[in-house]
Amino acid sequence: MKITMLNGNPNADNVAFDNYLRELSHHLELRHHTVNVFNLREMDIKYCVGCFSCWVKTPGKCIKKDNSGDICRAYINSDLVLFASPVIMGFTSALLKKTHEKLLPLVHPYLEFVQTEVRHLARYEKYPLMALLLEKGNDTDEEDIKIVSDIYRRDAINFKTQFCFTKLTSDPLGEVADEIDSV
């Protein structure tokens, strides 16, 4: 399976989080998965300004020159994308959130009704499965985890895919790898 990990850890001093992802990546490679990790804090990712150029002027591509095109290519060519982040003030990091927003070119601006809701049309035939790996902070509670998971679950609907699971960095590596194997 081709797996893309988006490391949304904004804090280079949070070595434990980065080490967990590194070890998880190694663990998955030993299980014969292909893993591509993007360390987002080391990349040039500009904020989406909602100009809609990715739909109108440069269909499928952000007009801003940054690394989001590399992420979009890896994303759409993956079987599973793992969004990974510490929980900061009840949500994923701003770094992961702005990167997630830069995936907008992967869907069409055109809309359709799906089960009484309006959804974007797919730009591609296949989209990767989505999953979350979160690190709880001192002030993180179960409701925070549920809210983040629910938002990503709803977003998966817009991206024509399924949301598979939410795991925590407090979970053993083998358990997270087993969860990935089972999708």
Prediction pTM value: 0.96
CB 116 within 8 A of CB 28: no
Q: What is the DSSP letter of 67?
A: T
Position 117 scores a pLDDT of 87
CB 123 within 8 A of CB 107: yes
CB 9 within 8 A of CB 18: yes
Position 114 scores a pLDDT of 82
Domains of the chain: 2-181 (3.40.50.360)
Q: Which two tokens stand for residue 182?
A: 């089972």
pLDDT tens-digit readout, 118-149: 888 999 999 999 999 999 999 999 999 999 99
Position 115 scores a pLDDT of 82
CA distance 71 to 85: 16
Position 36 scores a pLDDT of 98
Strand, coil or helix: what is 74? helix
Q: pLDDT below 50 — which residues of the chain? A: none
